[in-house]
Amino acid sequence: MGQLPIVAIVGRPNVGKSTLFNRITHSRRSIVGNEPGITRDRIYAEAEWLGKRFELVDTGGMLVGESAEIPAKIVAQARQALDQAALVILVVDGRSELTAPDIELAGLLRRTGKPLVLAVNKIETDAALVSATESYRLGIDRVIPVSAEHGRGVDDLLDCVTALIPEAAETAPAATASEIAVAIIGRPNVGKSTLLNQLTGDERAIVSETPGTTRDAVDTVVERDGAVYRLVDTAGIRRKGKTKLMAEKLSVVMARRHIRLSDIALLLIDATEGLTAPDATIGGYAHEAGKSVIVLVNKWDSVKDRRAASEELRNQAARRLKFLDYAPVLFISAKSGLGMSRVFPEIRKIAQARQRHIPTAELNRFLHSVDLERASTPASRKKKIYYMTQAASAPPRFILFTDKPGPLHFSFERYLVNQLRRKF
């Protein structure tokens, strides 16, 4: 149990901490153990959301009497839980004005350096959402309006929380935070192993070849300009000697596995063959898995009329790879080295963009500036978006608060995503 990330609920008395704690733990039927608290019978409980487990702590239960009213005392008495916490949920009462203690408490919590999520509680109606807007004054980017009593918004809160906390130790990903995990994907013979050789070419660049997460996988770790890249399962790239059909099928299976283990996928395309349907299939997996994709048009050295070829590729991409139209495209020759100097810097740039967190205030300025009327969505399927906040990065995930429940119409979503990409 000590391995589970701890999520601490903090707030002034009567904001609804205990109700929220009960809502998250009881309603999920996922409690496996609990411990008696000091003033409440239970202040710790294990919880689970979409397969991710964590330990929830109601710090309100640690405080007695007057000290529960004074921010510095709240933080001091909850210190132990706060020190261990992977994330802190600050609860405020959305039905009343923010109080000086709320603001002071938010300041103290910000100073802990822990990821913070603000739960604006007691928001039962859409009209009450307006008061959630006011809570930006607390300087916490992630604001989720909830009603602990009625359950409203609690799913969003849990989405946000679980996206931010680490996995329980046994399922930790292979790459450490400072490494950029890169997959080289593509059909047989597009040049994957040649590219691998170019990327690692200089023997001294290879830091280590370490076993990957699956037993027969071998990753190559490369250091360039101070950044560490983990090229996932490079043993698979060299797997040869299959029939053409087998190799084609295998390339798709391998791509799916490599994509899963990576942050960034280098989608290799053979310029002499153009963009084929299998290329698009493989690219589609990476896109759907939420990975960042860089398209590398390889064998550019063999192309005679480069202008015509790039024109042709652009047309093919518009048809087959439309969903990846945001992905950068580099023209390279893995064999001759042409264009290769741009590859690592591009990976690094994309890895940084992937980590980006856009402050809520900026997102809401964006929402005001974007003309949602222009989306080619049937009027009846459009929604009013009250505001939005970024719940997670790598890949970025956003939570939208709308007037009607249910998912966005696909064309409306696409319009919004495109505008977001353009702006940020």
- 143-145 sheet: strands from edge to edge: 34-35, 44-49, 52-58, 6-11, 85-93, 116-121, 143-145
CA-only gyration radius of the chain, Å: 25
Residue 104 burial (CB count, 10 A): 15
Applying CB under 6 A, which of residues 192, 258, 287, 291 lies at the interface with ligand GDP?
192
Taking CB under 6 A as the criterion, the residue among 4, 8, 10, 19 binding ligand GDP is 19
Helix then strand then coil, % of the chain, to nearest 5 = 40, 20, 35
Which region among 226-234, 296-304, 360-368, 402-410 touches ligand GDP (by CB under 6 A)? 296-304
- Whose structure tokens read 């990409």? 421
The smaller minimum CB distance to ligand GDP, of residues 268 and 370, is found at: 268
Q: What would the two tokens of residue 340 be?
A: 């290769």
**148 binds ligand GDP per the rule CB under 6 A:** yes
> Per CB under 6 A, does 149 bind ligand GDP?
yes
Nearest CA-CA partner of 44 in 9, 88, 87, 83: 9
User: What SS3 class is residue 347?
Assistant: helix
**Contact between residue 403 and residue 383 where contact means Cβ atoms under 8 Å apart:** yes
Instruction: State yes or no: residue 185 binds ligand GDP (CB under 6 A).
Output: no
User: Which of the stretches 44-52, 71-79, 101-109, 144-152 binds ligand GDP when contact is defined by CB under 6 A?
Assistant: 144-152
Q: How far is CA 78 from the centre of its chain?
A: 29
Size of the site for ligand GDP (CB under 6 A): 31
- Helix and strand numbers (H, E) in the chain are 14, 16
Identify whether 395 is preceded by a cis peptide bond (ω within 30 of 0): yes
**Pick from 104, 35, 44: which is nearest to 74 by CA?**
104
Q: For ligand GDP, which is the closer residue by CB, 122 or 230?
A: 122
- Of residues 329 through 368, those in contact with ligand GDP by CB under 6 A are 333-335
**Closest among 345, 87, 355 to 225, alpha carbons compared:** 345
DSSP per residue, 209-269 = EEE-SSTT-EEEEEEETTEEEEETTHHHHT-----HHHHHHHHHHHHHHHHHT-SEEEEEE
Residue 140 or 296 with smaller CB distance to ligand GDP: 296
Given 4, 6, 8, 11, the residue binding ligand GDP (CB under 6 A):
11
User: In this complex, which beta carbon is closest to ligand GDP, that of residue 239 or of residue 381?
Assistant: 239
Least CB distance to ligand GDP at residue 200 (A):
13
Quote the least distance from Cβ 283 to ligand GDP, whole Å: 15
Nearer to ligand GDP, 4 or 9 (CB): 9
Chain residues 64-123 in contact with ligand GDP, contact rule CB under 6 A: 121-122
276 binds ligand GDP per the rule CB under 6 A: no
Q: How far is CA 294 from CA 184, 345, 348, 389, in A?
A: 10, 12, 11, 27
Q: Is 198 in the site for ligand GDP (CB under 6 A)?
A: no
14/80 with CB nearer ligand GDP: 14
283 binds ligand GDP (CB under 6 A): no
In whole angstroms, the minimum distance from the beta carbon of 70 to ligand GDP comes to: 15
Q: Are 300 and 331 in contact (CB under 8 A)?
A: yes
| Span near ligand GDP by CB under 6 A; candidates 127-135, 181-189, 387-395, 410-418 | 181-189
In whole angstroms, the minimum distance from the beta carbon of 166 to ligand GDP comes to 27
Considering the complex, state which of residue 52 and residue 122 has its C-beta at the smaller distance from ligand GDP: 122
**Which residue in the set 301, 312, 346, 413 belongs to the binding site for ligand GDP (CB under 6 A)?**
301
User: Shortest Cβ distance from residue 147 to ligand GDP (Å)?
Assistant: 4
CB of 248 vs ligand GDP, minimal distance in Å: 11
Q: Which residues bind to ligand GDP, rule: CB under 6 A?
A: 11, 13-19, 60, 121-122, 124, 147-149, 186, 188-194, 237, 298-299, 301-302, 333-335
